Structure 1
Amino acid sequence: MVDTKREIERKYEAGAGTGPSNLSDLPDLTRVRGVSAVVDRGVVELDATYYDTADQRLAAASLTLRRRTGGHDAGWHLKLPVSDGVRDEIHAPLSDTVPPALTGLVRSRTRDAELVPVVRLRSARDVRHLVDGSGGLLAEISLDRVRAERLSGGDGTTEWTEIEVELADGSDPAILDKVEKKLRKAGVSRSASSSKLARALSETGRRPRKEAVVAAAPVTAGDHVLAYVRAQRDAIVALDPAVRRDVHDAVHSMRVATRRLRSTFRSYGAVLDRTVTDPVRDELKWLAGELGADRDREVLTERLTAALDGLPPALLSGPVHDRLRTWAQARRSGSRHRLVAVLDGGRYLDLLTTLDALLVTPPLRSAAADTTGKTLTKAVRKDFAQLSGLVAEAVALESGETRDLAIHEARKKAKRTRYAAELAAPVLGEPAKELVRDMKALQSLLGEHQDSVMARQALRDLADQAHVATESAFTYGVLYGREEQRAATAEAALPEAWESIQGESAF
């Protein structure tokens, strides 16, 4: 069993002439607005062993995995970066080996590499609580005297003293700024290291291996395409733990990254050899399908729930809310385990390894050397022209299933055109940025139509289930009619919207 805590903290240098070496030497923190008392919580002895791969893949991504004894939260801790000074700390009970729940959360980084002890940190932590007038905890300030011992990948030991200020759960983050102002006046400065582990690794052996990056700003078409591909690969890897934890919007965000990659490989076939990238596209399509297995139903459920909530009571007939809930949960059972199994599976991990290899040895074609922007412009124009043909085809058709399919194809092409322009924007400037904005607006319009199509299919399914259960299907018919109207409105708006885009586009 694991639990998660959002950790918001700041680290400061202490001792060695940079400021107070004891908490008792700090200024009176009761003079910080909102702080009524500083409560001495004593000294606690902490003993933590940090784990990583031999080439320090976790440290390179600013992840820390440790087994710690001492203190109120002894056990295994995995810290995932959220933003500067903010991390999600995931706890698991104390055990002799790394818990499977945590190894899964770092698998997109470690792949098949073994996790080994790299550093042991022993700290004497002097703790104070900053509390308000009612005794509520605002923040914890501690002074840690740390001794680090390298266990692998280096040798030697190092010692230092640092101050940590950690925000209490539910407390206003502004208190951290107020405390810092007082600390600075006492000669205390922010730590140069992001974590104890980072400092220990730096001072006792080899630094974490950082992935090779382009030394200079992208120049060629190949540079820009690879930078975009790298960003999407990085997004997939970084989102993996959030998807496993069922963090809001994580599945959708990873799915978008797979779409961007697939679109890039197709749009920029003049830059990257498609005989190499097409098989990768197929695997990305598979992954997107696995990610979307439940996402589409979730989106539909939200839409239909909102539609039901918007109906007056007179139009609600039968147990419609219960029926919708049952329908929504019908395929949900076991889905989280299924998706985690996919992310643990060899096919997914092989895909990540393939993307790594593609970036290390990219299958560049001759057009990749172009520095004029012509190659990028040509790719965007080609996608835009194809989109124009699809929109014209959709507009010319009569309303019905054939037009629905044509609009759906136009929507997919609008996404691809948007991603192509997004990639090219650093080179092509405002015209490409304007096209990205236009494609977002068009996606929204065409997406509303597609959502209506899917909602009507779901409503027919719900009505059939209600009929079998001898329930009234009246409300589903009402919603169906409203969805038809929403689709008709989108269809009617399409010609004018597209004419405006064509008239303003530089492509």
Structure 2
Amino acid sequence: MQDRREVEWQLEAPDPGRLAARLEALVAEGALLPPRRRRIADLYLDTADWRLHRAGYALRLRSAGGRAEATMKSLAARGGDGLRDRREISEPLPGPDARLMRGAVGRRVRALAGRRRLRTLFRVETERASYAIPLDGERAGTLELDASRILAGDAAALLRRVEVEAAPGVPARELEGFVRRLREEAGLAPAGLSKYEAGLRAAGLAPPGPPDLGSEEPGPSPTLGELAFAALRAQMRRFLAHEPGTRLGEDPEELHDMRVACRRLRAALRIFEEALPARAGRFRRELGWVGGMLGEVRDLDVLLGMAEGWVASAPPEDRPPLLELRRALEGRREEARRRMLRALDSRRYRGFVGEFCAFLRRGPSGRVPGAARPALRAAPGLLREQRRRVRALGDRLGPGSPPEDYHRLRRRARRLRYAVEFFSGLYGRAAEDCVLALKGLQDLLGEHQDAEVAAQTLRRLAREERGLSPEAAFVAGEVSRGCRERARELRKLFPRRYAGAGGRPWRRLRDEMERRVPEG
């Protein structure tokens, strides 16, 4: 298995004869070694709904010299000089069949594609001449001269390409002089398209962009329904945009951002309830189900991030039980990820996405009286109600209050913050300052909840994890107590942060809302 950065220049040769003469001269000079020739057959694949492309990857199955491999390449933007810097993940295969992928590529493809079948997009047959580029007695890179035929059904296209690839560990700057000289002397130009892009064009394929759910701009004087649908569409677009990265599972922030969009959707459906049809309540319940699956993985991501810090700060002799604890947490995360992927692959999830997107495209209903209310008239009451709920709980919290009450307040404060954000386009700086103050409170309560969840998870791990050594179980208990102590320290900081969130910023927003209520 390989997981590396592929750094190469992709160039076109308008004058093949001039290029051939220049390559022959470079071999004679010793600037290139004599070529090695081979035939290559490539298949490019994706699902019918372009799941790999939407995740930022192209999938290629290659046969050459009796060997087969599967490769995922990131869809990197090209530089002005034809330079591309891409991630490339490869695994060897017994044969050129996607069903044989069992390694690093196969795991990623299954996470992204789920139950969707792969289909062939197009085929590329290439005659390749490979020239090694020596530098100070070592191979600095490879120049590859490709003559390719792109085949897609009855369509066919020819592609002639020069690629100069830096060897692993060789900085691109080491080859810049060679490439510059080759371009000048052989009349080469930066390639406008990669082979994948050229294949899509030849096959007449155009991967779709983000779904069009309707306008996300409510206008200067929107109704409550228009504002509600603008907010819901914006969050659903973000939700769907982060699904591929969440499936892939390599960047925890992708899952975090998908979960945040899920939370904002649920909040919007509740805040704008009076402007939405009754069936919107079912979408809120479905988002609660999805959010639960995402949250289970996210909590373990946060805990694993903490574990990295524990291991890094511990003396070497104390690390073995911490490393064992981290491995146990990684196992639990993998189990939670499998449950999450099953949920995302389910008919229930597909049905929710399809129905909710159709709902958003239809827009506000004329049969819902609240949808026609001017947003400037509705906003003060809606925001006051959210703030009342925060104060009803927050005003009576103290250091001795149970952790569950702090978590309940966190959820209410988050909903108030989201509500202010949804209306921020109407109230400008006053709303922005209020959001900033609420974010400070939310961050404190979020850190408190992370500490409480970590403590609970570690206690459960010490009791339930089979095969955990007594030393690791003891460490889990000690770290759990440390997390509980951290939560107590955060509760001491709560009164000042709470007072700051509900003072001057809220009063300024309240005054601005009252000033802008329409007459009549």
TM-score when normalising by structure 1: 0.74
- Aligned partners of 1:266, 1:108: CA distance in 2, in Å? 32
The structure-2 alpha-carbon separation of the partners of 1:330 and 1:277, relative to structure 1 and needing over 3 Å to count, comes to same
Look up the SS of the partner of 1:126 in the other structure.
Answer: strand
Shift of residue 290 of structure 1?
1.9
- Aligned partners of 2:26, 2:430: CA distance in 1, in Å? 57
Name the residue aligned to 2:152. Answer: 150
CA contact (8 A) 1:45 1:122 kept: yes
Name the residue aligned to 2:75. Answer: 81
Name the residue aligned to 1:347. Answer: 348
Shift of residue 228 of structure 1?
0.8
Name the residue aligned to 1:488. Answer: 491
1:242 maps to which of 235, 248, 264: 248
CA contact (8 A) 1:38 1:131 kept: yes
Look up the SS of the partner of 1:69 in the other structure.
Answer: strand
Q: Counterpart amino acid of 2:364?
A: L
The structure-2 alpha-carbon separation of the partners of 1:334 and 1:267, relative to structure 1 and needing over 3 Å to count, comes to same
Structure 1's unaligned 5+ residue stretches are 30-35
**Structure 2 residue 249 is matched with structure 1 residue 278:** no
Look up the SS of the partner of 1:255 in the other structure.
Answer: helix
Name the residue aligned to 2:261. Answer: 257
- Which structure has more helix as a fraction of its residues? 2
Name the residue aligned to 1:33. Answer: none
Q: How does 1:335-414 map to 2 (within 5 A)?
A: 335-359=336-360, 361-365=361-365, 375=375, 382-383=382-383, 386-387=386-387, 389-391=389-391, 393-402=393-402, 404-414=403-413
- Cα displacement string for residues 181-226 of structure 1 (whole angstroms, at most 9, x for unaligned residues): 5566565433332x32322332354544556648998454467335
Shift of residue 275 of structure 1?
2.9
- Cα displacement string for residues 268-297 of structure 1 (whole angstroms, at most 9, x for unaligned residues): 4466x3533332332222222223324324
- Aligned partners of 2:55, 2:475: CA distance in 1, in Å? 55
- Aligned partners of 1:146, 1:387: CA distance in 2, in Å? 65
The structure-2 alpha-carbon separation of the partners of 1:214 and 1:464, relative to structure 1 and needing over 3 Å to count, comes to closer
- Cα displacement string for residues 76-112 of structure 1 (whole angstroms, at most 9, x for unaligned residues): 3333436664544343415354236668755788676
1:121 maps to which of 120, 124, 129: 124
- Cα displacement string for residues 32-68 of structure 1 (whole angstroms, at most 9, x for unaligned residues): xxxx965555333211122345676766776433322
- Aligned partners of 1:366, 1:288: CA distance in 2, in Å? 30
The structure-2 alpha-carbon separation of the partners of 1:232 and 1:206, relative to structure 1 and needing over 3 Å to count, comes to closer
Look up the SS of the partner of 2:362 in the other structure.
Answer: coil
- Aligned partners of 2:381, 2:20: CA distance in 1, in Å? 65
The structure-2 alpha-carbon separation of the partners of 1:460 and 1:196, relative to structure 1 and needing over 3 Å to count, comes to closer
Look up the SS of the partner of 2:36 in the other structure.
Answer: strand
CA contact (8 A) 1:449 1:491 kept: no
Shift of residue 441 of structure 1?
2.6
Name the residue aligned to 1:191. Answer: 191
Name the residue aligned to 2:446. Answer: 447
CA contact (8 A) 2:5 2:87 kept: yes
CA contact (8 A) 2:6 2:165 kept: yes
Name the residue aligned to 2:295. Answer: 292
Q: Counterpart amino acid of 1:386?
A: Q
Structure 2's unaligned 5+ residue stretches are 79-83, 220-225, 514-520
Name the residue aligned to 1:162. Answer: 161
- Aligned partners of 1:334, 1:461: CA distance in 2, in Å? 15
Shift of residue 263 of structure 1?
2.9
Q: Counterpart amino acid of 1:283?
A: E
CA contact (8 A) 2:300 2:333 kept: no
- Aligned partners of 1:255, 1:309: CA distance in 2, in Å? 28
CA contact (8 A) 1:317 1:473 kept: no
Look up the SS of the partner of 1:285 in the other structure.
Answer: helix
1:502 maps to which of 502, 506, 519: 506
- Aligned partners of 1:394, 1:182: CA distance in 2, in Å? 70
TM-score when normalising by structure 2: 0.72
Shift of residue 26 of structure 1?
11
Look up the SS of the partner of 1:74 in the other structure.
Answer: strand
Q: Counterpart amino acid of 2:129?
A: D
- Aligned partners of 2:475, 2:98: CA distance in 1, in Å? 54
- Aligned partners of 1:170, 1:378: CA distance in 2, in Å? 61
- Cα displacement string for residues 398-439 of structure 1 (whole angstroms, at most 9, x for unaligned residues): 33344x334323322343444455566667655555454444
Look up the SS of the partner of 2:452 in the other structure.
Answer: helix
The structure-2 alpha-carbon separation of the partners of 1:127 and 1:263, relative to structure 1 and needing over 3 Å to count, comes to farther
The structure-2 alpha-carbon separation of the partners of 1:125 and 1:462, relative to structure 1 and needing over 3 Å to count, comes to closer
CA contact (8 A) 1:235 1:257 kept: no
- Aligned partners of 1:215, 1:318: CA distance in 2, in Å? 53
**Structure 2 residue 38 is matched with structure 1 residue 48:** no
Count how many residue pairs are aligned between Structure 1 and Structure 2: 486
- Aligned partners of 1:140, 1:461: CA distance in 2, in Å? 54
Name the residue aligned to 2:238. Answer: 232
CA contact (8 A) 1:408 1:446 kept: yes
